[in-house]
Chains A and B, each alone.
Chain A
Amino acid sequence: MDNSLKTDEQLVSLVKDGNIHVFGDLVGRYEKKFERYARKFLSDQEDIKDVIQGIFIKIYVNINNFDTEKKFSSWAYSIAHNELVNALKKSKKKFLPLLDFDIIFPYNPQKKNNNINIEELDAKMLADESLKKLDPKYRETIVLFYIEGLSYKEISDVMQIPVSTVGIRIKRAKEIIKTILKKEKK
């Protein structure tokens, strides 16, 4: 059966109905994406493999909790996010703090003046070297938005933070990268 034309959500419905082999198609669609995502936070290849396997196991185990009316990618990335957080906690590396002022207070980033030349920055900021210098909370937002192509709302669902916080983190990440790039030029 050719499942390539089916949506993620249709594949999930088939898996839920007992078509276990269809889960393999979902793995095929997301494995590379999750690997790219994990690579921004982990460097050890074995760790990355373990995390990716863990993500898909969690997805399968909890698949009945997914509402097929919603977008599968957001739900899958939220599981990936949690797995990465756990993996980094285990390796005792700093990741996302428990309490962050960005999520305490309301923000409206659109109202704030942002003088950064975004187009010029976008290509440069995706370079691994610049990303590595970013705090993980900013790095993850940038990765999800620019590399994985998720919307603000989807990132909000994945990271379980307000949409306004997603905006403020992207804005701050750009400012930090701009500062980094300026320093590098000098």
Chain B
Amino acid sequence: MNGENKNNLSDILLDKIKKGEIKMRPKIYFVAKLILLALATAIITFFAIFVASFIFFIIRASGLMFLPSFGFLGIKLLLLSLPWVLILGLLVLVATSEIFIKHFPFVYKNPILYSLLAIVIVILIGGLLIDNSGFHTNMLLKARDGKLPVAGPLYQKYGIPESKQIHYGIVSELSDSGFKIETPRKEEVFIHFSEKTRIPKEGIKENDAVIILGEKTNGEIKAYEIKKVNRDFNIFPGKPPAMKYKNLPSA
């Protein structure tokens, strides 16, 4: 570009500025933009934390967390039973959060791995804290009572999640071919076991808290493997001890 063009460009731009065709944005515009960006990032991250806590709630309340203790089959079943739609949604939220946070210089000046790790850690810790606070238990109870208009359908849909392969409850009655358990849904379910069923060496007695790996058909469970768990296992944190296991909301 020669000197004439240089002057031309300068003149063209100044002319446009004088005519008001190009206007300087006020400082407040950029301040508001920054605040909105920070707010959007915070909202997305909080939503991701909520989704993560709900996934933890489902995994714990449905007993899925016990599956790995059943070995390879348990891990396979766990992978098949995980709430993948929610997990996929969480991954999208993590990616969105990263896209938003990348606009801040303190983030883009460092490798993506650092900010991604920080986001994941914040979401996981936040999710665990909310899950352990009993928040979802309260929400579930409110949804059951119809006192949760917005998020109610979400909790009513999931309720106390029930897995097809993993079941747990308190042993209420023993018999030769099996035993009855009382589930967190206050249901009485009969557990059949055969010679092939792997049961704890010390045996099973009434009031034991047990986790059963097996197929549920016609209200009965054909057990492949049974494991004992701590009676104080906290299914619904934040509730008094009586609520922890026995007085849970019915399905």
* Residues in A lying within 8 Å of B, measured CB to CB: 16, 20-21, 23-24, 27-28, 31-32, 35, 49, 52-53, 56-57, 60-65, 103-107, 156-157, 160-165
A27:B112 contact, CB within 8 angstroms: no
B109:A156 contact, CB within 8 angstroms: yes
Q: Which residues of A contact B14 (CB under 8 A)?
A: 20-21, 23-24
Q: Which residues of B contact A64 (CB under 8 A)?
A: 24-27, 29-30
| Given A28-B10, A61-B22, A65-B25, 4 further pairs, Cβ under 8 A | A23-B17, A31-B6, A60-B24, A64-B29
A53:B9 contact, CB within 8 angstroms: yes
* Contact residue among A20, A32, A163 (Cβ-Cβ distance under 8 Å from B17): A20
Q: Which residues of B contact A24 (CB under 8 A)?
A: 10-11, 13-14
The reply on B113 being an interface residue by CB < 8 A is: yes
The reply on B69 being an interface residue by CB < 8 A is: no
What is the CB-to-nearest-CB distance from B153 to chain A, in angstroms, rounded to a whole number? 36
For the complex of A and B, list the 8 residue pairs with the smallest distance between their C-beta atoms, beginning with the closest: A24-B10, A65-B30, A160-B108, A27-B10, A106-B111, A104-B112, A64-B27, A35-B1
B1:A31 contact, CB within 8 angstroms: yes
Q: How far is the CA of A53 from the CA of B21 in the complex (A)?
A: 13
What is the CB-to-nearest-CB distance from B16 to chain A, in angstroms, rounded to a whole number? 8
Closest A residue to B114 by CB, please name it.
A106
The reply on B92 being an interface residue by CB < 8 A is: no
The reply on B23 being an interface residue by CB < 8 A is: yes
B10:A61 contact, CB within 8 angstroms: no
Most buried by A among B14, B27, B102, B105: B14
- Provide a sorted-by-A list of 28 A–B residue pairs whose CB atoms are within 8 angstroms: A20-B18, A23-B17, A24-B11, A27-B6, A28-B6, A32-B6, A49-B9, A53-B9, A53-B12, A53-B13, A56-B9, A57-B13, A60-B17, A61-B22, A61-B24, A62-B25, A63-B24, A64-B25, A64-B26, A65-B25, A104-B113, A106-B110, A106-B114, A160-B102, A160-B108, A161-B108, A162-B110, A162-B111
Closest A residue to B107 by CB, please name it.
A160
What is the CB-to-nearest-CB distance from A69 to chain B, in angstroms, rounded to a whole number? 14
Closest A residue to B11 by CB, please name it.
A24
Q: Which residues of B contact A65 (CB under 8 A)?
A: 25, 27, 30
* Residues in B lying within 8 Å of A, measured CB to CB: 1, 6, 9-14, 16-18, 22-27, 29-30, 102, 105, 108-114
Q: How far is the CA of A95 from the CA of B24 in the complex (A)?
A: 29
Q: Which residues of B contact A61 (CB under 8 A)?
A: 22-25
What is the CB-to-nearest-CB distance from A58 to chain B, in angstroms, rounded to a whole number? 10
Q: Which residues of A contact B12 (CB under 8 A)?
A: 53
Q: Which residues of A contact B9 (CB under 8 A)?
A: 27, 31, 49, 52-53, 56
Q: Which residues of B contact A31 (CB under 8 A)?
A: 1, 6, 9-10
B22:A60 contact, CB within 8 angstroms: yes
Q: How far is the CA of A28 from the CA of B10 in the complex (A)?
A: 7
What is the CB-to-nearest-CB distance from A106 to chain B, in angstroms, rounded to a whole number? 5
What is the CB-to-nearest-CB distance from B162 to chain A, in angstroms, rounded to a whole number? 39
Q: Which residues of B contact A106 (CB under 8 A)?
A: 110-111, 113-114
Closest A residue to B23 by CB, please name it.
A61
What is the CB-to-nearest-CB distance from B9 to chain A, in angstroms, rounded to a whole number? 6
What is the CB-to-nearest-CB distance from A176 to chain B, in angstroms, rounded to a whole number? 22
Q: How far is the CA of A64 from the CA of B32 in the complex (A)?
A: 13
A163 with B109: in contact, given A28-B6, A53-B9, A61-B22 (CB under 8 Å)?
yes
